[in-house]
Structure 1
Amino acid sequence: MKWWLDFSSNAFIAAFFLYCASFISYAIAVGGKKWSNRKPAEHTARWGKIAFGLAAVGWLAHLTFFFTRWYGGGHIPTSNMYEFMTFLGMAIMFAFIVIYAIYRNMMLGAFTLPLVIIIIAYASVFPSEVQPLIPPLQSIWLKIHVTMAASGEAFFAIGFAAALVQLIRVVDFSRTDKAGRRAQFWTEFSLYVIIVLVGFIVAVFAFRGAGYEANFKQETVTIDDAGNALTSVGEVKYTLPPIVAPYNSETVSFQSFIGIKQPLFEAPSWMNGVNAGRKLNTVIWSVIAGSLLYGLLRLIARKKLTAAINPHLSDIDPDDLEEISYRAIAIGFPVFTLGALIFAMIWAEIAWSRFWGWDPKEVWALITWLFYSAYLHLRLSRGWQGTRSAWLAVIGFLVVMFTLVGVNLVIAGLHSYAGV
């Protein structure tokens, strides 16, 4: 079995680098045509074919990773954050291949590939060892519920990518009125949010590579069913320099960083989730690293990033992008409905003897479903098209990402095992 797992890891690495090569090829196809001696259309077609070929081969390598890990680990690899996020990346690539085969839009690849790369790089932050399934996950519904929910979210991701391209395409950077500046700000902010996620990945791998570690001893008080106070002491390990210490804790070991020899403050008492202080510390470092990365990119571009990208989108019809976004979401919505709601409730009844329990993950899955229901209703019945429709698609996927990342890692609940 170890051989299969080693082979699976190698296939995953191959998929990652093939996706990177595909993105570079798409960037050359879109942005490099003005430096080419060939005719722009010929240049774009040539590099577009190379980019799609690399993406397809990368997806096959990703598929190989999935099935060899399944065989070597003994269960479908969707049981924790590492496995789920790698599966989500694979599902997004499948959705991209389907949509690209229909519309042949080059810019879709240039924005989808970075999203996939970020997601599987984010997955690599978590432990990659195969873990035994806990009792609630030992069910055929793990295969049905999780894979269908992720597949629906994958098509939402394609809708998000197309909508973001559309917004950057239509924003008018020559406008100086209030409405024009607002459109420029929020479009730029959407890119900033993505860069903050990249900053999180960069910070984690940088400090992990440097071997950084700090440890705290935290005292936790819980109340049992009889109303008695129970005190327990546990150790909390940080792999990022502690700006925020755990609530009610003592420092066991601390490596100073840029002159900081102790945490700047302690996590507030109301943040009583598992490792809440460490998670808040991670969020702060993500914003710091993302802001520095964003500032560096702004310095290189010498203008807003959306303003730097906008001229390369002049040949694209925004109506085509809106159609792609709508079709992708329309495909993903019924798949998500089945996987994240209907099959999830059936599994909840089997595992916990109730269809619904207001668990945070259940609530946010319902919020996601209601949001996309509103999107489809407003677009089809109320005529919400153009930038309004695009903004809904962008905001909807941010809700999806909070449901996947924020709920699993920040809010304690029955689904918290997914963040292990």
Structure 2
Amino acid sequence: MYSAIAVYLIAFFAYCMEWTFGSSGAVAQRSADLAVEVREPVAAAASGGVALAERPIVVVRDVGHDGGDVDDQGNVANGNERADRIGRVAVSLTVLGFLLHAGSVLTRGIAAERAPWGNMYEFSTAVSMVVVAAFLVLLWKYPVRWLGLFVTLPVLTTLGVAVTVLYTDSDQLVPALNSYWLWIHVASAIVSFGAFHIGALASILFLFRQKHESNLADPAKSTDGRFDNMMARLPGSASLDKTAYRVNAIIFPLWTFAIVCGAIWAENAWGRYWGWDPKEVWSFITWVAYAAYLHARATAGWKGTKAAVVSLIAFACFLFNYYGVNIFVNGLHSYAGV
């Protein structure tokens, strides 16, 4: 595990170097084009004649790219080769760190002769592994290397807390956890938590990118600062908003499945499906928060800032459900221990 943390740390610094030197890096995605909505007069049928109506169209205005041509997807061609090379090294280090990380989780399970997520330390290491795995899967399908910097930072933070504060020696499970549902229920929660991390990161980056685009739209505001230069390398705010929605929408059914499995497991272990245990209550609150986010997107058409805020509130509920409830609240799930 310490080897994985060391490799992740080197990868994090490599991503930082790519962002520092890659002002026009090809995979840094310097998407400084500003999408401007204008209204074009069109003819519309009306009773007794023809009337003029307006329809919104989107015009992309190039605001400059200090070296490098932008293609249709926002990638910068002929960019800084050094930054691109550093970025590729960072990805290779991330893969190596992931292999070491997965090996640590696997050997922990072999040593304990059970599923390697029976306490908070093991759960934290498994969740952070899923976060990296989700990033690598996205990177395999889409050009999202720019996300590496923002993935490795929370992963390093989670692992740092795990090995310093949450660590417990490998031991056998309490009787309530000694069930095949541990593999189903907790594994589903781990994958959900890891994927929701990616959705939350996309929502946070959306808010910063939207602020940058509003600065670009206002001639009175300067966009030459370090913050604006950094935000200019992200995809457009609409793309980040869509990414957050897709990740949360895809993983929400799995989180629902995890809650249902937990209720079934509770009936097997304690003779009831629901007992108002703090962990059960906050799991349901988290489910309601994500359901509200998806419902607002699908029915009310919420996009942009409103949707991002609701998404982050839902993720905050998930974080409190894991750290707050497990550490500060006593209940039937307190056996997860620190």
- Give yes or no for TM over 0.5: yes
- Counterpart residue type for residue 152 of structure 2: L
Q: Is residue 152–residue 334 contact of structure 1 (8 Å, CA) maintained in 2?
A: no
Q: 2: distance between equivalents of 1:324 and 1:96?
A: 12
Deviations 1:126-178 (A, max 9, x none): 23311221110111111111111110111110001111111112225998xxx
Instruction: Give me the whole-angstrom Cα distance separating, in 2, the residues matched to 1:102 and 1:380.
Output: 25
2:116 aligned with 1:77, yes or no?
yes
1:325 is matched with 244
Offset of residue 82 of structure 1? 0.7
CA contact (8 A) 2:24 2:80 kept: no
Could you list the per-position Cα deviations for residues 284-331 of structure 1 after superposition, in whole angstroms to 9, with x for gaps in the alignment? Answer: xxxxxxxxxxxxxxxxxxxxxxx8544212132111211221121122
Q: 1:91 aligns with which of 130, 137, 142?
A: 130
Q: Shift of residue 34 of structure 1?
A: 4.3
Counterpart position of 1:353: 271
What is the rounded CA distance, in whole Å, between the counterparts of 1:342 and 1:386 in structure 2? 31
Distance 1:328 1:104 in 2: 16
Distance 1:59 1:362, change over 3 A: same
CA positional deviation for 1:35: 10
**CA distance in structure 1 between the aligned counterparts of 2:302 and 2:82, rounded to whole angstroms:** 36
TM-score relative to the length of structure 1: 0.62
Measured after TM superposition, the shift of residue 92 of structure 1 is 1.1
Equivalent residue in structure 1 for 2:257, among 311, 326, 338 = 338
Aligned partner of 1:164 among 195, 204, 226: 204
Separation in 2 of the partners of 1:18 and 1:81?
23
**Could you tell me how far apart the structure 2 residues matched to 1:164 and 1:310 are?**
15
CA contact (8 A) 2:212 2:232 kept: no
Q: For residue 372 of structure 1, what is the aligned residue in structure 2? A: 290
> Do structure 1's residue 128 and structure 2's residue 168 form an aligned pair?
yes
Matched, 1:113 2:152: yes
Q: What root-mean-square deviation, in Å, do the aligned CA atoms of Structure 1 and Structure 2 show?
A: 2.2
In structure 2, the partner of 1:66 is 105
Match of residue 21, structure 1, among 4, 10, 17: 10
CA distance in 1, matches of 2:140, 2:314: 24
In 2, the alpha carbon distance for the partners of 1:44 and 1:319 equals: 26
Hey, what's the Cα distance between the residues in 2 that align with 1:346 and 1:31? 51
> How far apart in 2 are the matches of 1:35 and 1:173?
18
Counterpart residue identity of residue 254, structure 2: V
| Aligned with residue 180 of structure 2, among 137, 140, 148 | 140
The one-character-per-residue Cα deviations of 1:369-419 (angstroms, maximum 9, x if unpaired) are 111111111112211111222222222211111000000001111111112
Describe the superposition over 1:324-363 as per-residue Cα deviations: whole angstroms up to 9, x where unpaired. 2112112221111112x11101100100011111100000
Q: Which residue of 2 aligns with 1:419?
A: 337
* Structure 2 segments unaligned to the other structure (5+ residues): 26-66, 69-77, 216-224
SS in 2 for 1:171: helix
The aligned amino acid for 2:13 is I
AA aligned to 1:362 is: E
The alignment covers a number of residue pairs equal to 277
* Matching residue of 2:39: none
Is the Cα–Cα contact under 8 Å of residues 155 and 331 in structure 1 kept in the other structure?
Answer: no
Matched-pair identity in %: 36
- Provide Cα deviations, 1:157-213, integer angstroms capped at 9, x if missing partner: 0001111111112225998xxxxxxxxxxxxxxxxxxxxxxxxxxxxxxxxxxxxxx
Distance 2:281 2:83 in 1: 45
2:142 to 103, 113, 118: 103
- In structure 2, relative to structure 1, the CA distance for the partners of 1:390 and 1:45 (3 Å cut) is farther
- The answer on whether the counterparts of 2:289 and 2:313 sit within 8 Å (CA) in structure 1 is no
Distance verdict in 2 for CA 1:174–1:324, change over 3 Å: closer
| CA spacing shift, 1:41–1:383, aligned 2, 3 Å | farther
After superposition, give the CA deviation of every residue in 1:71-109 in whole Å (9 maximum; x if it has no partner): 111111211111111111111111112223233223321
Structure 1 residue 48: deviation in Å?
A: 2.2
Measure the CA separation in 1 of the matches of 2:295 and 2:284: 16
Q: Which AA in structure 2 matches 1:156?
A: F
Return closer, same or farther for 1:174/1:374 CA change in 2, 3 Å cut-off: closer
Could you tell me whether the CA contact under 8 Å between 1:86 and 1:123 is conserved in 2?
A: yes
The match for 1:408 among 323, 326, 333 is: 326
Alpha-carbon distance between aligned partners in 2 of 1:360 and 1:76, rounded to the nearest angstrom: 24
